[in-house]
Amino acid sequence: MEAKGLKFPTYESFKIWFDEKTKNYRFKTGKQPGSFHEDFANGKAPLGFLKEWARQNYCFIQLTNANWVWILVNYQDLWRREPDLYDSVASKIGSELSSPVPGGHGRCFVQYARYFGLTDDDLFTAKPILEMEARINSSLVFRSQSPAQTAVRMMMEGFVGYAMKTRAKILREKYRLPDEALEFFDMHVQADLEEHGPEGEDLLKRLYELDLVKQDDYEGMERQVELALDGTQPGNQGFSWQNVLYEQFCRDNPEERSL
């Protein structure tokens, strides 16, 4: 069926389409394309690369969290009218920035990075690769999206929990990382699957109840899902900048990949 021009007059109509559309999403199946994901899943990614990947991931976390704050800035009129919505969204953003410690998820990720010998200075001075910046720039639409589109984006965030679960399993079984080094991943399995995804659903449902999801929103809501499912272009939500980083690492360090 041609997706263009879909109508979502009710929350239920969108949720039925959403569930069907995302049932084979690569985060759910654990089968992500690309040389990095293939080598990583088989325990063949060089430790030297995992160190650089950790350094870049730290950048990704900080840049992502910074963009979430735009949600609170964008919809100030809505928050004044519906303070219960503000409370729920602010709580979600607060957990990103402060849990499990001040500084949020990035501070928790430091434990993982230290396992590969990275120092705090290595992380704090890291510069993101251009492909990651292009991926992050897709989050800048937080500045112009409607609340309904942002809610759908939050729903897609919930699927990150599947990817985190897969990565933690691989890091434990293939690379023998200890549990204490994997707190960041384990925390996100619960946070994304059980909290952030459902928070997006609750927000969207409430927006429908308030008659704040309009026909003009439908295309943007659909687009949020389609972009994540595509994942082939740097600006798409599901784009794997990790593959770009890995290919560059292997070109520069051919001897490490052959080990």
Contacts of 43-47 spanning 24+ positions with Cβ under 8 A: 43/170, 43/173, 43/174, 43/175, 44/257, 45/246, 46/249, 46/253, 46/256, 46/257, 46/259, 47/116, 47/175
pLDDT of residue 231: 65
Other beta carbons less than 10 A from residue 82's beta carbon:
17
- Residues 162 and 257: their CA atoms lie apart, in Å, by 27
Spans in the chain with pLDDT lower than 70? 1-5, 100-101, 138-144, 231-239, 257-259
Nearest CA among 155, 146, 166, 140 for reference residue 42 = 166
Tell me: the pLDDT tens digits for 87-143?
888 887 887 787 766 777 778 899 999 999 999 999 999 999 988 887 777 655 555
| Residue-range domain boundaries for the chain | 50-253
pLDDT of residue 2: 42
* pTM of the predicted protein model: 0.86
- Tell me which architecture the domain covering 50-253 has in CATH: Up-down Bundle (1.20)
pLDDT of residue 13: 97
